[in-house]
């Protein structure tokens, strides 16, 4: 089995690479060599930037043919077009890592299945849907067999955990018992999946004829509210119960336009996806609980000096103080009146 991964050292793709090497596949990784690699020896490494399209296409042509190419880093229609140029007739199968952000939100029908409408509310999702269309057209032309993955939130060691006001200092903030800003009332549903479970499903798709021309949600099955998400992380790492500070999402968009607004859609809708197809065709299973996975991710970050320094984030502290002062003043005014 000769497989090329564009990426291969990132959060999800590390699990794919590891699983392929464990199965003794012939693995080539293509990336810029910037992300620190947590994958074992054994894969051939080719370096380059896939956005330098002409060079990328020349580099790929020189590599010969593959049984499968997995693209983890295709975000723009131009990326997908270049991918087709590079691999039409040069790979039997093309696995594209899309996202659940392609779906219309709020969804008219829950849980969201693969045939739900794809009118995304964010540019990221719009572009991923365009990439899907380009790769499905290539499938129709028989340039290669296309398989699409739409992961929901996927995390793992080597990365951090998602937080509305800044992922990089989240683990330190929660470990130190700091306040956490939670958009809205924190009762929207969210779901997490450890990357090892998602990575296994990708590998099970290789050469699997059932997956040709199909798309698959890969989403955890541990739905929880955002409040429970934070409470579980605190419990997992032995931190104090977090003090959750609820601020309306629409206000946060104005207060923190750079760090909150671009991802506000994540925190404002229920993330309920149906992964039955992946369970049936790819033996996709969620084997790591959120508590176990959060503990492992924290332990890795601590051991590798990646916890961040939450006290340096003065904006966060100022925002919480201003919000609480305003709340007290409002209460005094209403009760006084």
Q: Interface with ligand NAP by CB under 6 A: which residues?
A: 7-13, 31-35, 49-51, 72-73, 97, 99, 151, 153-154
Nearest-angstrom CA–CA distance, 153 and 162 = 9
Q: In terms of CB distance, is 90 or 246 closer to ligand NAP?
A: 90
Least distance in angstroms from the C-beta of 11 to ligand NAP: 3
Find out whether 93 and 147 touch, Cβ atoms under 8 Å: yes
Q: How far is the CB of 95 from ligand NAP (least distance, A)?
A: 11
CB contact at 8 A, 97 and 149: yes
Taking the least distance from each CB to ligand NAP, the nearer of 52 and 303 is: 52
Cβ-based nearer residue to ligand NAP, 51 or 296: 51
Q: What angle do CA 121, 98, 30 make, to 5 degrees?
A: 135
Q: How far is the CB of 193 from ligand NAP (least distance, A)?
A: 8
User: CB-wise, 33 or 327, nearer to ligand NAP?
Assistant: 33
Tell the smallest beta-carbon distance from residue 312 to ligand NAP (Å): 24
Q: How far is the CB of 99 from ligand NAP (least distance, A)?
A: 4
Q: Which residues contact 137 (CB under 8 A, 6 or more apart)?
A: none
Residue nearest to ligand NAP (CB): 10
**What's the CA gap between 25 and 265, in Å, rounded?**
39
Least Å from the CB of residue 16 to ligand NAP: 8
Indicate the residue among 158 and 242 with the shorter CB distance to ligand NAP.
158
User: Shortest Cβ distance from residue 125 to ligand NAP (Å)?
Assistant: 10
Question: Which C-beta is closer to ligand NAP: that of 72 or that of 135?
Answer: 72
3-state secondary structure the chain: CEEEEECCCCHHHHHHHHHHHHCCCEEEEEECCCCCCCCCCCCEEEECCCCCHHHHHHHHHCCCCEEEEEECCCCCHHHHHHHHHHHCCCEEEEEEECCHHHCCCCCCCCCECCCCCCCCCCHHHHHHHHHHHHHHHHHHCCCCEEEEEEECCEECECECCCCCCCHHHHHHHHHCCCEEEEECCCCCEECCEEHHHHHHHHHHHCCCHHHCCEEEEECCCCCEEHHHHHHHHHHHHCCCCCEEEEECHHHHHHHCCCCCHHHHHHHCCCCCECCHHHHHHHCCCCCCCHHHHHHHHHHHHHHCCCCCCHHHCHHHHHHHHHHHHHHHHHHHHHHHC
CB of 142 to ligand NAP, least distance (A): 25
Closer Cβ to ligand NAP, 34 or 62, answer by number: 34
- Provide, rounded to whole angstroms, the least separation between the CB of residue 132 and ligand NAP: 12
Query: Measured from the CB atom, is 69 or 247 closer to ligand NAP?
Result: 69
Pick the closer one to ligand NAP by CB: 30 or 144: 30
């Amino acid at each position: 089995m000769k497989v090329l991964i564009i990426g291969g050292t990132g959060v999800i793709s590390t699990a794919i690479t590891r699983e392929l090497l464990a199965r003794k596949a012939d693995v080539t990784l293509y990336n810029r060599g910037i992300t620190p690699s947590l994958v074992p020896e054994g894969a051939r490494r080719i370096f380059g930037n896939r956005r330098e399209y002409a060079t990328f296409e020349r580099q790929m042509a020189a590599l010969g043919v593959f049984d499968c190419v997995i693209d983890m880093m295709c975000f723009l229609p131009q990326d997908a077009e270049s991918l087709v140029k590079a691999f039409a007739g040069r790979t039997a199968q093309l696995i594209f890592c899309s996202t659940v952000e392609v779906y219309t939100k709020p969804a008219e029908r829950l849980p969201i299945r693969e045939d739900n409408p794809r009118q995304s509310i964010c540019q990221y999702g719009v572009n991923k849907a365009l990439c899907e269309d380009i790769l499905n057209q290539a499938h129709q032309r028989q340039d290669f067999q296309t398989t699409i993955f739409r992961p929901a939130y996927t995390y793992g060691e080597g990365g951090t955990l998602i937080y509305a006001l800044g992922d990089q200092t989240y683990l330190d903030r929660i470990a130190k018992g700091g306040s956490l800003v939670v958009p809205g009332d924190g009762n929207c549903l969210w779901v997490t999946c450890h990357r090892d479970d998602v990575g296994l499903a990708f590998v099970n798709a290789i050469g699997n004829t059932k997956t040709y021309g199909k798309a698959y949600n890969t989403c955890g099955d541990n739905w929880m509210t955002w409040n429970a998400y934070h409470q579980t992380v605190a419990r997992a790492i032995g931190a104090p119960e977090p003090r959750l500070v609820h601020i309306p999402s629409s206000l946060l968009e104005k207060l923190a336009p750079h760090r909150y607004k671009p991802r506000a859609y994540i925190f404002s809708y229920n993330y309920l996806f149906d992964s039955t197809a992946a369970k049936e065709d790819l033996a996709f299973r969620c084997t790591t609980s959120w508590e176990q996975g959060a503990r492992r991710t924290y332990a890795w970050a601590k051991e590798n000096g990646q916890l961040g320094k939450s006290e340096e984030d003065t904006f966060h502290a100022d925002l919480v103080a201003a919000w609480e002062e305003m709340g007290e003043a409002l209460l005094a005014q209403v009760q006084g009146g």
